[in-house]
Structure 1
Amino acid sequence: MIAIGIEELCRLQPGWIKGKRLGLLSNQASTDRNLTHSRDLLLAAFPGQLTSMFSPQHGFFSEKQDNMIESGNSTDPTTGLHCYSLYGQTRRPYPEMFADLDVLLVDLIDVGTRVYTFIWTVVYCMEVAAETGVKVVILDRPNPVGGHLVEGNVLEKECRSFVGMCDIPMRHGLTMGELARFCAMELGIDVDLEVIPVKGWRRDMFFAETGFPWVFPSPNMPTASTALVYPGQVIWEGTTVSEARGTTLPFEMFGAPYVRVEEVLHYVEQEGLPGCVLRPLMFEPTSGKWAGEPCSGFQIHVTDPHRFKPYKTSLVLLQALLMLYPQNFAYKEPPYEYEFERLPMDLIIGSKKIRQELEQGVPIVELEQAWQPQLAEYEKKRSSVFLYEA
């Protein structure tokens, strides 16, 4: 049976926590197997020690829909504790926010994708914790898309932003705890960092195999199936193509009024996209891009998660739309995640050069071959922070 970090912390009650003032970085998805929230577990296990709370992008209740929709500081209605928003007036905590705590506990669901911002909030917290002498403890959780598969080009330094502050590929293959260790190592953050590992999790497990209930960590991550496609489908955020926000299947679907599904299928049929089926459909978003307009596109059905390559699949589809509809296709203009000058697509892909090569029609297989040396180097580095066996 799997036991996640918060469950293990409450069971083990390590000596270092006795009498310490605790802060908790979490959101509404930070629950145990019985859907009890972490703050309630901490209140029961360590009464009187929880002093403050913190929330990441989308707010504590995961109610804010899109990027750059901020949430303010609040009072937690359950505990009466102050909850600092780390996606509002600031994304980096002010040192005074840590003034009344000794240990910052982090219990957040990561979805195995570089552009998901929760890890970058953790990086900012680690930097401030290093400055203020606060200990950071990651209450680890499984990587829902597995810890055995990595995919994509490694982020280039000139494309660093709040959707990538450390040089990792799109699908990084680490848990939140491992990723925090990796970032601390690579970015030289001298923080007192500890990880409470997941008991019983293996690297080759997908979320469906964990036996845990899925609680959505952000409003457009409604199911574990969404997480499977997200490492690729998130690229549509850098375009005017709808990633199906404003529908019940965000990221699993995509499209635009000008797409002709037969043309796209013909274009991609030689690429070899294993582990999935592209099912043509129409959808009409109720909000966001193309709201109220019928969009022609696809739903990606993952048939074999071990063979499915989300990043390659979506790059192939992106290049198809670039080549087939040059008069209709457009990139999203800045701002994007507080970057007001650089093209959002470059930040998402993590490389201006690769974006340009996609536009030039360079085959995806050639792009994959070109980034293998950097990916191999990343593989060596990431193995040094592993906490789990395959």
Structure 2
Amino acid sequence: MKNYLWIVTTLLLFVCSCHQGQAADSHHLPSASPESVGMDPGRLALIDFVVQQGLERDSMPGAVVLVGYQGKVVFLKAYGDRQLQPEEVAMTTDTVFDLASLTKPIATATSIMQLIEQGKVQLSDPVSKYIPEFASNGKQDITVYQLLTHQGGLIPDNSIKDYQEGPEKAMQRIYDLKLYYEPGTRFAYTDVGFILLGDIVKRVTGQSVHEYSQKHIFQPLGMTETGYLPAAELKKRAATTQQREGRWMQGEVHDPRAYKLDGVAGHAGLFSTAEDLAIYAQALLNQGRSGNTQILKPTTVELMTRGYQVVDIMRGLGWDVLSGYSSNRGDLFSRQAFGHGGFTGTSLWIDPAQDLFVIFLSNRVHPDGKGSVNSLAGRIGTIAAAAIKNQSIGGVKVPSKASLEVLTGIDVLKREQFKVLNGMRIGLITNHTGLTREGESTVQVLNNAPQVDLKTLFSPEHGFAGKLDVSKIGDSTDQKTGLKIFSLYGKTRTPTPESLQDLDALVFDIQDIGARFYTYISTMGNAMRAAKQQGIRFIVLDRPNPINGIDFSGPVLDEGSQSFVGYHRIPVRHGMTAGELARLFNTEMNIGADLQVIPMQNWKREMYYDETGLTWVNPSPNMRSLNEAVLYPGIGLLETTNLSVGRGTDTPFEWIGAPWLDGMQLARELNRSGLPGVRFVPVQFTPVSSKFANELCSGVNFIVTDRWRFQSVETGLEIACQLRALHPEQWETKSYNRLLGNQSVFDAIVAGESVLQIQALYQQDLAEFGFRRAKYLLY
């Protein structure tokens, strides 16, 4: 925040800076005055002042600054010179710059993301799958994800001598490198890793990263001034860098290794102008789209640019988010911001939460390589964000909600006069949550539909009425319809062939809660298998994920740990609806059912349940409010240990406690941890049933202050870490992994590692899940 204070002070003292930096007309993105889009031109004009300071301090010979906001260029200006030696040449806004390491995310990582979308590459794949020669010297298990996040165990740069005999020999020497450290155990920024990623592009597509990015990224976007090996016309207006072999480099890659690789490499070699880069930046803000061109799917953009915990920093896939390399990041950017810098003096930062991007391009290495611009670029980013009127610093961009009422699957089915079920004999898997928007039971609706023959009912854990909290439930009869109810939480948890006799389809209509270990989705999966075996259709009447369909988090279930509380390899919080999970299960688990999902209408992924207009019905006896559902993925993980999670009280999952726990100390440490969107209050409570019944428990109450910033699973893991540190003898961990389902994370908690270290353990699996999940999303 020091830069923010500096800006405020300067605004008061530097009154003459109210002149707005002149914005040139852009043939790429439309230009607009700052006032017309809600920016303060006086604040934005401070860019002139800080850049002039940089010029006077010899940080660089010149620069171009472009600020984009709400799809418009609101500031574009050139400063100083693009060349000082052998003669001075003024900087212009159309100057072509050597982007250096901006090549990594813009050309190489974007190419890799496209290949992942196409199913030609996977994040968890070993690099040696594509480059067999790379497997030597213990490198056989290094993954694509680890290269993208700079934790692949590789040296930052191998010796320039390795490049002296041409590209082919240079690549062979990279393949032969020994490990620099154990992969996945630390972050070490490396050019070598991105050289290999560029090589993967070539191995998979038959095209160099230069050829591929031109054809599939830059040309489709209309970025005519971007690419490797700039043509003669672009070279003429390129910023000069340093001398090499007796000549000044102008339009020739500065990086010595990229130069030895004939100017084309995954880590460096890309050239561009500010206005061309603005097209790319805006495409990412537009969820991968520019006009009619879609270079990446919206889900891919989100997965590429979100922050993944890498030891104690945050990195995207090819992008920086928050690390030791983030000094060029504006102080007022939100936690959704991502960007990168380049050695030659370039940077690009994009903030989706503020619909803002800032491009800073300089040739700070001219003429002697001594310029320094990272802090200057960061100050410019801070100014740009501060110029936004009515901004929310550090906020989260949440898309606007639908104004129409959400219709669940049963509502849609009813409105369409049950055409999908016309003339069919059906079994219905449901409970008390199976209701229309008006509150009518799905059982009654289907039973009264003349074209539907409802033959039998099935109920999940907690029974048909959702009131039982016992280990086994027997079959029963529905008093209103007289239909038999087969329990799927008794002698069997799968419909038997006998129960499915004479049926044409099984219909599933139950409200899920959004956590992996909530068993209704396991019941659904088992029933899908039974339907497949019986040769009948399986139909899901979809319902909202009550804690939104955007966020997914937590450890992914280990292979081999599948159970009724861990049906498939998904994270603790999955961010999917029941219908979407059915699609995922059906494919990934090779169920092969004749599956049909009746989608909702008007539901948006960012919605929490209270934004749907639907009536909240407790999905199970101890899930009594949306607030408890928000807490549940993280707090629920703890209930297999010797803690009360509030069962037997009026507010389960809103607090934890035990007779042996020091609630005041735990609350103090949790508040000190800085977990976002939540506060912790020491409490005492006495459960009337369940664990520690009629015993006074000391504990902690959870107050969610901002549910969009609150991270339930991270909070649950932090509580576990604090319990391990504060009560190593009293807190029993032997059953903790039952719901956690991830041995490495469990071991790390028991070993006393920090939450940051623990989160880093499962980020690759989480990123991979993101791409797996994207294939099955319906909304």
The TM-score range, normalised by the shorter chain, is over 0.9
Residue 554 of structure 2: aligned partner: 152
Deviation (angstroms), 1:264 = 1.1
Residue 347 of structure 1: aligned partner: 738
Residue 63 of structure 1: aligned partner: 467
Deviation (angstroms), 1:14 = 4.9
Does the 8 Å CA contact 2:410/2:436 hold for their aligned counterparts? yes
Residue 428 of structure 2: aligned partner: 24
Q: Structure 2 matches for 1:18-167, cutoff 5 A?
A: 18-46=422-450, 49-66=453-470, 69-167=471-569
Does the 8 Å CA contact 1:103/1:137 hold for their aligned counterparts? yes
Does the 8 Å CA contact 1:323/1:359 hold for their aligned counterparts? no
Letter in 1 for 2:660: Y
Q: Structure 2 matches for 1:114-263, cutoff 5 A?
A: 114-263=516-665
Q: Distance in 2 between matches of 1:126 and 1:115?
A: 18
Letter in 2 for 1:57: E
Q: Which runs of 5+ in 2 are unaligned?
A: 1-404
Deviation (angstroms), 1:211 = 1.1
Q: Distance in 2 between matches of 1:92 and 1:385?
A: 24
| In the alignment, structure 1 residue 386 sits paired with structure 2 residue 777 | yes
| In the alignment, structure 1 residue 358 sits paired with structure 2 residue 715 | no
Letter in 1 for 2:442: S
Q: Distance in 2 between matches of 1:185 and 1:299?
A: 41
Q: Distance in 2 between matches of 1:71 and 1:14?
A: 31
Letter in 2 for 1:364: V
Letter in 1 for 2:773: R
Encode CA deviations 1:189-244: one digit per residue, 9 max, x unaligned: 11010111110000011011111111111101111111100000111221010011
Letter in 2 for 1:381: R
Residue 138 of structure 2: aligned partner: none
Residue 142 of structure 2: aligned partner: none
Residue 406 of structure 2: aligned partner: 2
Aligned-partner SS, 2:719? helix
Encode CA deviations 1:90-119: one digit per residue, 9 max, x unaligned: 011111211121111100010000000011
Q: Distance in 2 between matches of 1:328 and 1:137?
A: 47
Does the 8 Å CA contact 1:159/1:346 hold for their aligned counterparts? no
Aligned-partner SS, 2:506? strand
Question: Which of these two proteins has the greater Rg computed from alpha carbons?
Answer: 2
Does the 8 Å CA contact 2:421/2:452 hold for their aligned counterparts? no
| In the alignment, structure 1 residue 315 sits paired with structure 2 residue 721 | no
Question: After the TM superposition, which parts of structure 1 deviate over 3 Å for at least 4 consecutive aligned residues?
Answer: none
Q: Distance in 1 between matches of 2:727 and 2:523?
A: 37
Encode CA deviations 1:116-149: one digit per residue, 9 max, x unaligned: 0011111111011111111111000000000000
| In the alignment, structure 1 residue 368 sits paired with structure 2 residue 759 | yes
Q: Distance in 2 between matches of 1:384 and 1:296?
A: 45
Aligned-partner SS, 1:178? helix
Aligned-partner SS, 1:141? coil
Residues 1:301 and 1:94: Cα distance change in structure 2 (over 3 Å): same
Deviation (angstroms), 1:188 = 0.6
Letter in 2 for 1:52: T
Deviation (angstroms), 1:47 = 5.8
Residue 695 of structure 2: aligned partner: 293
Q: Distance in 2 between matches of 1:374 and 1:344?
A: 23
Aligned-partner SS, 1:214? coil
Residue 335 of structure 1: aligned partner: none
Residue 417 of structure 2: aligned partner: 13
Letter in 2 for 1:120: S
Aligned-partner SS, 2:736? helix
Does the 8 Å CA contact 2:681/2:700 hold for their aligned counterparts? yes
Letter in 1 for 2:462: H
**Could you tell me the TM-score, scaled by structure 2's length?**
0.47
Residues 1:314 and 1:184: Cα distance change in structure 2 (over 3 Å): same
Residue 6 of structure 2: aligned partner: none
Encode CA deviations 1:281-337: one digit per residue, 9 max, x unaligned: 111000111100111112212221111100110111122112211222124xxxxxx
Letter in 1 for 2:598: I
Aligned-partner SS, 1:289? coil
Residues 1:308 and 1:46: Cα distance change in structure 2 (over 3 Å): farther
Deviation (angstroms), 1:46 = 3.7
Aligned-partner SS, 1:131? helix
- When structure 1 is superposed on structure 2, of 263-272 and 293-302 the one drifting more is 263-272
Q: Distance in 2 between matches of 1:12 and 1:59?
A: 29
- % identical equivalent positions: 39
Greater RCO between the two (CA within 8 Å, min separation 6)? Answer: 1
Does the 8 Å CA contact 1:161/1:347 hold for their aligned counterparts? no
Residue 668 of structure 2: aligned partner: 266
Aligned-partner SS, 1:97? coil
Q: Alpha carbon RMSD of aligned pairs, Å?
A: 1.3
- When structure 1 is superposed on structure 2, of 280-289 and 13-22 the one drifting more is 13-22
Q: Which runs of 5+ in 1 are unaligned?
A: 332-342
Q: Distance in 1 between matches of 2:650 and 2:616?
A: 16
Deviation (angstroms), 1:13 = 2.7
Q: Distance in 2 between matches of 1:167 and 1:39?
A: 32
Q: Distance in 1 between matches of 2:542 and 2:566?
A: 20
Aligned-partner SS, 1:146? coil
Q: Distance in 2 between matches of 1:169 and 1:8?
A: 30
Residue 339 of structure 1: aligned partner: none
Aligned-partner SS, 1:62? coil
Aligned-partner SS, 2:572? strand
Does the 8 Å CA contact 2:667/2:700 hold for their aligned counterparts? no
Aligned-partner SS, 1:328? coil
Deviation (angstroms), 1:36 = 1.4
Residues 1:29 and 1:227: Cα distance change in structure 2 (over 3 Å): same
Does the 8 Å CA contact 1:346/1:352 hold for their aligned counterparts? yes
